[in-house]
Amino acid sequence: MKRFLQAVALGAMLALAAGAARAVDATPTPAATPAPEATASPAATAAPAATPAPATTAATPAPTATPAPGATPAPAATAAPAAAEQPLDVAALAIFGAFVVLTLGITYWAAMRTRSAKDFYAAGGGITGLQNGLAIAGDYMSAASFLGISALVFSFGYYGLIYSIGFLVGWPIIMFLMAEPLRNLGRFTFADVASYRLQATPIRAMAATGTLVTVAFYLIAQMVGAGQLIELLFGLPYLWAVIFVGIMMIIYVTFGGMIATTWVQIIKAGLLLVGATLMSVLVLAQFGFNFNALVAKAIEVSPKHEAIMLPGAQMANPISAISLGMALMFGTAGLPHILMRFFTVGNAREARKSVFWATTFIGYFYILTFIIGFGAIILVGPNPLYHDAKGALLGGGNMPAIHLAHAVGGDLMKGFIAAVAFATILAVVSGLTLSGASAVSHDLYASVFRKGKVDEVTETRAARITTVMLGIVAIYLGYKFEKVNVAFMVGLAFAVAASANFPVLLLSMLWKGLTTRGAFIGGFAGLISAVVLTIFSPGIWEAVLGNPKGSAFFLYASPAIFTMPLAFLCAWLFSITDNSAAAAAERKAFDAQYVRSQTGIGAEGAASH
């Protein structure tokens, strides 16, 4: 049966490729191709009040737009500059095709090794610390990191570094507070940890809801970004591009599970690190490998001159700045597709090594994005080859890194970097889909609806069915949200993760007094408040829903500064006022949980093959 499904899937891929080729031959390229991830060009986009998260390309603000203190300007989902005809990038297509063929081969190999639920959800627990660190980096170093931050540096200089730091500083929290207890207490999802001593049904329902909301907004962002990137590079119609990405995602996860997803992420991380390193070396070589000379030249060339070395007006409001930092820092520690990776290693020691390697790779990569951004200021900014007749950047505001690749390495380098950018999105989509499928099949179906009375074969089948359903939903949402600015969606995902998942997970591991009632109410309070405040922000209320300018009720860049304390407060208040017998038993069970979380006694080991 598995071989039959594989044959059907591969046949569908070939049919899709043939149909896409015919569509490319028969369909003229649209005159206005949207920029990747619905982001406007630097000259037209509003300031990035909604922070790009590591799952989508960052929204590039306009150098001339200065937001009012406390107010969040709504980003415009503006199309890229018009082009008469989109030429086919043969180098990018060849590298992209090679990546697809390689990853499909890995998926077939992984399918032969996926025999149990532990194999499907956690790769059998047999991934090493170094491998998992690379896979985590591959899951985290998204298109927002590569294209978005370099675009922010290109437009604003030093301001882009603030985002790099924000994306990085969450990792010490994971390393020192969460990695070891997560591995020792959980099996497949972070809901296993949160419900270890609490009542499974309400806690898993709450955790699965938070996971699915986070995954949904991430998936929309990734599908839109991938569709527009393929459309921009190859001239493939947007709908075909989204369908292609959805089918690839379904194949990776349905057949290969976590084993295939892990190796796709490892390959993607390696390609991205190599590509970014090569670009940075080629840029620095033009300045004698002197970073000071690079910065001095960027200051000279940039229209803003010395102002590119200042944080900028976007961080003038302290509430927005702090709230933004909280969402990035603590949201990282609540992302379900990141937390799930800690169950793929054999023990807590390997989990700590995973975070060490991931932090090393991610930190190194963010240093490179700064070099790439400054290089783009010098080599792309004044070069008319990369601008249209009106002076706007070709392809939109997120394309400086792609243009820089051409400036330093020609068509071949541009093709390689463009293919790597797509591989980045595809790897993140696979991890997100697997975490969503796990929440439905393991947390809801097996634990809540079936009360744990389900065999591994049935649970794994439910996960595969859920994967297909999530893929179809992702294709539909990617198509429907083509023109919507996706930065707010991933900003909401980070806010939800920081406000709902992180407080419950942290308190369940470290606070004896947490009860089921407190965790349930606190988690949903953070989840609902984060969603509501983001909807009522200018970026959604005005830009997306079309309400009059100035009518938004919530004026800040991120709700985390309000919703995170609310979640902690509700969890604390409703726990200390819970005097039920069940609450007393849950408090009593904390000591045994704490011993296991710190020592690993009783923790599940790796599966044998």
pLDDT at 35: 38
Block means of pLDDT (10 residues each) for the chain, 609 residues, are: 42 40 36 38 37 39 37 40 52 78 85 81 83 88 75 80 78 82 82 88 90 85 75 76 84 82 87 90 89 86 79 71 85 87 84 89 89 88 80 74 86 82 79 86 84 81 88 85 64 84 92 93 94 82 77 82 95 94 92 87 54
The string of DSSP letters for 96-148 reads HHHHHHHHHHHHHHHHHH--SHHHHHHGGG-B-HHHHHHHHHHHHS-HIIIII
Q: Which of 329, 351, 2, 344 is nearest to 171 (CA)?
A: 329
The string of DSSP letters for 323-358 reads HHHHHHHHHHTT-HHHHGGGGSBSSHHHHHHHHHHH
Q: How far apart are CA 499 and CA 326, in angstroms?
A: 10
> Using a CB cutoff of 8 Å and minimum separation of 24, what contacts does 546-553 make?
552/72
pTM: 0.76
Q: How far apart are CA 173 and CA 332, in angstroms?
A: 9
pLDDT at 167: 76
pLDDT at 16: 39
Q: Which of 606, 536, 591, 525 is nearest to 564 (CA)?
A: 525
Q: How far apart are CA 418 and CA 54, in angstroms?
A: 18
Provide the pairing of β-strand 79-82 with 32-34. Answer: antiparallel
Residue 324 near residue 51, CB atoms below 8 Å: yes
First CA to last CA distance, the chain: 22
Instruction: Calculate the alpha carbon distances from 404 to 85, 90, 379 in Å.
Output: 21, 18, 7
pLDDT at 89: 66
Give the CA angle between residues 403, 409, 413 to the nearest 5°: 75
pLDDT at 507: 93
Question: Residue 393 carries which DSSP code?
Answer: B
Residue 413 near residue 276, CB atoms below 8 Å: no
| Cβ-based neighbours of 489, under 8 Å, separated by 6 or more | 56, 217, 218, 220, 221, 481
Return the CA Rg of the chain.
23
